[in-house]
Chain A
Amino acid sequence: MQPLLEINGLTMDFGGLRAVDNIDFNIYSKEIVALIGPNGAGKTTFFNCVTGMYRPTGGDIYVHTDRDNKKRVNGLKPNKVTELGLARTFQNIRLFKGMTVLENVMIGRHCRTHANIFSALMRNKRIIREEYESASYSYHILERVGLDVFANEIAENLPYGAQRRLEIARALATEPKVLLLDEPAAGLNPQETDNLIDIIKMLRDEENISVLLIEHDMGMVMKISERITVMDYGKKIAEGPPGEIKENPDVIKAYLGEDIDAQA
């Protein structure tokens, strides 16, 4: 089967520091994959390379646009990558704080709409329709993630957990094929985390979106992911289903510690 996202030998150096070291990675349709590893292992950097935030120093990243076509996305600008169907959230929440919740999501629609300055000034029928569709599409996404009640609130006034979900909603508005979530459960309490798990599963089942997530909450990772990739010092040290990873001595040594169940 064709992967949606195909990564070969991805490498990223910062000066002397090799933050991502020769990583191979594929993600397929309707998959939920977790990326875990100690702090500073290079997980976020991996995301940044894939989404065009950084220009990788080595390796190839391909996005499969349809059955036979794949496009190399190394060094493409982030907005181009997003147009190709990869959308992400950020480890430290980066919302458009002064805008309303709905507007935040509508920014996600930017790359799927077309109005330019002139047509916006003229505001003809087509533009009015586009505006309306973009607003209602965004609103439906808010309904899906349960934020519709906040639609007209200013984003920074939202509770923290809602802000996390808003980041996801915003990414969804770009109609991604693969959603990359960087520590979506950080700072959430267990109830909120469960809620988040339901949303992610719903996205996969109903919207056919594949999800790649970085997370330190092992409870969540084990519950949700079909496959786990473990990084340490920029390298991939293990890959496999949750049950296997939990027992992997390397992973236990580098990351999990001895009795993981006590925490989860």
Chain B
Amino acid sequence: MAAHIGSSARSRSKFELYMWFFTRVSGVLMLVLGAYSIIYANLIGGPGMMDAAAQTRWAFFPISFHVTASKVEVEPNFQNAFWQFYGLLLFLLAATHGTNGIRVILKDYVRQPVLLAWLNALLFIVWLSMLGAAVYLLFVAQGVS
């Protein structure tokens, strides 16, 4: 009944602000990166050398595996340090954007704090493993093929 005025002991964490902003920036950046990949694919390979599926795959994610079935020269056009780091950046953005999205959804719907904490921990591990797998694929697996 009596009014409770907000306690002064509030945490002033800016985490949510940063994640909110990151989501927006990364989203736009991914669109830009995707657009650049598909433009590059068309400049290099052209519609004559790659089918639509290959172009789409490349646009979504520039890793040489995605164009190996095409008639274009994969090396050096599509397999070099630039595209490796480009891919890493894209994956970092995508994985973080996506993981944060799942975190937000969990925060919305999971009401038990303990369960939420466990799920968040699990999510963090998945995020790290995904990054690990991506680094391996981009720099090790792709390198040996």
Are A and B bound to each other? Answer: no
Interface residues of B, Cβ cutoff 8 Å to A: none
Interface residues of A, Cβ cutoff 8 Å to B: none
